[in-house]
């Protein structure tokens, strides 16, 4: 072994790990729109292992029936399954996550649905999730089903969503939308809402509300395609856990990177080995 090999085997703390927190599954307990019968909870976990994805969020449309099967399939693997759901609320789609299935089930049991739509608002869902230790991500915000389009204008209704502390990130499908609700947003009223969020959270002026990219997989091929096309996100964690994921979103400037923004090759120092003197070993 050379010096580089000696250094690589030494633990060096937190590292960026691949996560895909927007995945749908097949069957009566999954998402009705998923037609790929291969998209079972066990197959999703197996695909994540193959693609080197550390965390998978099972987020079926208004359904949590396949989450427990995914959790069971992930035991004794390298994959952490995050219990979740994608809610089609009256204000747009919302991804919600919890540390345990029990908390997800308690949250889900309080919801009301009417012909495929969750009757609660995004803010009501976030408040209920927060009471059970959960958090939310606004799903595909630039699409017709995203809250940016479903909640017109930039008045109090949208401000209440944007300033909610439990809405930890914004999901986009293409890098071109990553500037929304940021200091680089060309839409001035929308950019102004970021200032409102900073004030509500009592954060510093360079606070970054992270945008993330996930596969939104409806077929077993989708996670692989998303991974190869860099439509996936990396979070910096010591090890995958619900707490580490939350911390990463709260410290986005140093812990959240979409793969689309990462150069293919980055010159960097792997480590330094010294001999002699007070640094010698």
State pLDDT tens for residues 139-165.
999 999 999 999 999 999 999 999 999
Residues 39-57, mean pLDDT to the nearest whole number: 96
- The model's confidence at residue 17, banded by pLDDT at 50, 70 and 90, is very high
Confidence of residue 44 (pLDDT cuts 50, 70, 90): very high
What DSSP character marks residue 49? Answer: H
Domain boundaries, the chain: 17-260
Confidence of residue 116 (pLDDT cuts 50, 70, 90): very high
CA–CA distance, 161 with 17 (Å, rounded to integer): 29
Between strands 233-237 and 211-212, the pairing is unpaired
Evaluate if residue 39 carries a pLDDT over 80: yes
Label residue 38 by pLDDT band (50, 70, 90): very high
Distance CA 88, CA 118 (A): 6
Q: Please, which pLDDT band fits residue 21 given cuts at 50, 70 and 90?
A: very high
**Highest-pLDDT range among 2-6, 146-150, 217-221:** 146-150
Confidence tier at 236 by pLDDT (50, 70, 90):
very high
pLDDT at residue 279 is higher than 90: no
Q: Give the DSSP letter of residue 25.
A: -
- pTM value is 0.90
Of the pLDDT bands very low, low, confident and very high (cuts 50, 70, 90), residue 8 is low
Kindly state the percentage of the chain with pLDDT values over 90. Answer: 80
Q: What letters, b where the CB count within 10 A reaches 16 and e where it falls short, cover 136-156? A: bbbbbbbbeebbbebbeebee
Q: What is the mean pLDDT of residues 206-229?
A: 88
pLDDT band at residue 280 using 50, 70 and 90 as cut-offs = low
Give me the mean pLDDT over the 210-225 stretch: 90
Does residue 174 contact residue 200 with C-beta atoms inside 8 Å? Answer: no
Q: What pLDDT does 12 receive?
A: 60
pLDDT of residue 265: 58
HSE-CB for 33 with a 13 A CA cutoff? 12
Please state, rounded to an integer, the average pLDDT across all residues of the chain.
91
Query: Tokens 């150069």 label which residue?
Result: 263
pLDDT mean over 49-58: 95
CATH number (3.40.50.360, 3.30.70.20, 3.20.20.140, 3.40.50.620) of 17-260 reads 3.20.20.140
What is the structure's pLDDT at 182?
95
- Residues 169-177 have a mean pLDDT of 93
Residue 33 has a pLDDT of 93
């Amino acid at each position: 072994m050379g010096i580089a090999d000696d250094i690589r085997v030494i633990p060096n703390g937190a590292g960026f790990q691949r996560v895909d927190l927007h995945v749908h599954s097949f069957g009566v307990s999954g998402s009705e729109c998923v037609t790929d019968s291969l998209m079972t909870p066990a197959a999703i976990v197996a695909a994540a292992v193959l693609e080197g994805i550390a965390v998978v969020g099972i987020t079926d449309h208004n359904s949590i029936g396949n989450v427990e099967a995914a959790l069971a399939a992930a035991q004794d693997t390298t994959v952490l399954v995050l219990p979740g759901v994608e809610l089609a609320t009256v204000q747009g789609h919302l991804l919600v996550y919890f540390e345990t299935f029990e908390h997800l089930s308690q949250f889900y049991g309080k919801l009301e649905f009417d012909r495929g739509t969750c009757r609660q608002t995004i803010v009501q869902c976030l408040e209920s999730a927060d009471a059970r230790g959960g958090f939310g991500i606004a799903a595909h915000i630039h699409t017709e089903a995203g809250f940016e389009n479903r909640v017109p204008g930039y008045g109090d209704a949208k401000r209440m969503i944007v300033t909610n502390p439990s809405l930890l990130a914004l999901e986009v499908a293409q890098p071109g939308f990553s500037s929304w609700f940021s200091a680089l947003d060309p839409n001035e009223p929308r950019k102004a809402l970021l200032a409102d969020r900073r004030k509500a959270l009592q954060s510093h002026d360079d606070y970054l509300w992270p945008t993330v990219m996930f596969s939104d997989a409806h077929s077993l091929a989708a996670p692989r395609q998303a991974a190869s096309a860099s439509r996936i996100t990396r979070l910096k964690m010591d090890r995958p856990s619900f707490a580490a994921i939350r911390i990463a979103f709260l410290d986005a400037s140093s812990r959240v990177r979409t793969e689309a923004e990462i150069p293919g090759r980055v010159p960097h120092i792997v480590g330094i080995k010294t001999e002699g003197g007070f640094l010698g070993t």
